[in-house]
């Protein structure tokens, strides 16, 4: 049995294995692939960080709200909030206590303070989310740029070799298409991760917004001379989410 003929020196390899295409890439296509690999790794890193952060915030806030259900006076609520200073709800209550400063404050004023503090907490929770959104939207276009460049390279090779045979065009076309594939590999997890994390952030702060009304109520009612428990103020039962 005769062995397969040896490939003449200088003839381009026609292997279309994905990893072969990646390692054989050069120039602009190689830079595009490196950017997309970095973006893909960054997506999973951000996803892990955000899920961990939100799980921690949710558990700490739930612990604070469970203990706050039995509180009837602002002094007790502030003591509890200081003990749970790493919970978003605890920080909202602490800010309410600071702004009241021992004086009677209107409900509208306290509500505005609570909303502003909630907005600050939400900004803290959404750190790195714009990066995730940017990767989701930009990665397909970066991959498409690599594809266009690879196709241009294929046409240049056809012109230089005066031939459109497979050994001439396959490597360049393969590099072009692998760039698009890498763009999708980065963009799809980024899109799914962004939607998942964004929904969890929205759920957390919707629950906190409902609880904030009760925290404002306990401050304003006590200022009016009437002690009120958070349960009476309409505080939602903890553990429901």
Residue carrying the six token digits 């949710």 = 58
Q: How many Å from the N-terminal Cα to the C-terminal Cα in the chain? A: 71
The 3-state DSSP composition of the chain as helix, strand, coil percent (nearest 5) reads: 75, 0, 25
Residue-range domain boundaries for the chain: 18-223
pLDDT tens by residue, 41-70: 999 999 999 999 999 999 999 999 888 887
Q: What CA–CA distance (Å, rounded) separates 109 from 121?
A: 19
Q: What CA–CA distance (Å, rounded) separates 212 from 132?
A: 29
Please determine, for residue 12, whether its predicted confidence score (pLDDT) is greater than 80.
Answer: no
pLDDT tens by residue, 93-139: 998 888 765 555 678 888 888 899 999 999 999 999 999 999 999 99
- Would you say the C-alpha torsion 76, 79, 83, 87 has a positive or negative sign? positive
């Amino acid at each position: 049995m005769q062995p397969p003929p040896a490939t003449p020196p200088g003839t381009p390899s026609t292997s279309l294995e994905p990893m072969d295409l990646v390692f054989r890439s050069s120039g602009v296509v190689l830079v595009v692939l490196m950017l997309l690999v970095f973006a893909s790794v960054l997506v999973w890193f951000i996803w892990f960080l955000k899920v961990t952060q939100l799980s921690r915030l949710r558990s700490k806030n739930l612990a604070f709200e469970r203990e706050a259900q039995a509180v009837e006076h602002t002094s007790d609520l502030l003591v509890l909030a200081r003990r749970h200073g790493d919970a978003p709800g605890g920080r909202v209550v602490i800010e309410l206590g600071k702004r009241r400063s021992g004086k009677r404050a209107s409900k509208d004023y306290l509500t505005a303070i609570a909303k502003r503090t909630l907005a600050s907490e939400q900004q803290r929770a959404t750190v790195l989310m714009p990066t995730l959104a940017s990767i989701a939207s930009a990665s397909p276009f970066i991959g498409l740029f690599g594809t266009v460049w690879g196709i241009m390279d294929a046409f240049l090779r056809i012109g230089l070799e005066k031939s459109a045979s497979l050994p001439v065009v396959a490597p360049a076309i393969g590099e072009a298409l692998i760039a698009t594939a890498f763009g999708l590999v980065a963009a799809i997890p980024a899109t799914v991760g962004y939607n998942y994390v964004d929904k969890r952030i929205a759920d957390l702060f919707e629950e906190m917004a409902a609880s904030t009304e009760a925290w404002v109520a306990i401050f304003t009612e006590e200022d009016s001379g009437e002690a009120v428990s958070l349960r009476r103020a309409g505080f939602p039962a903890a553990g429901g989410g």
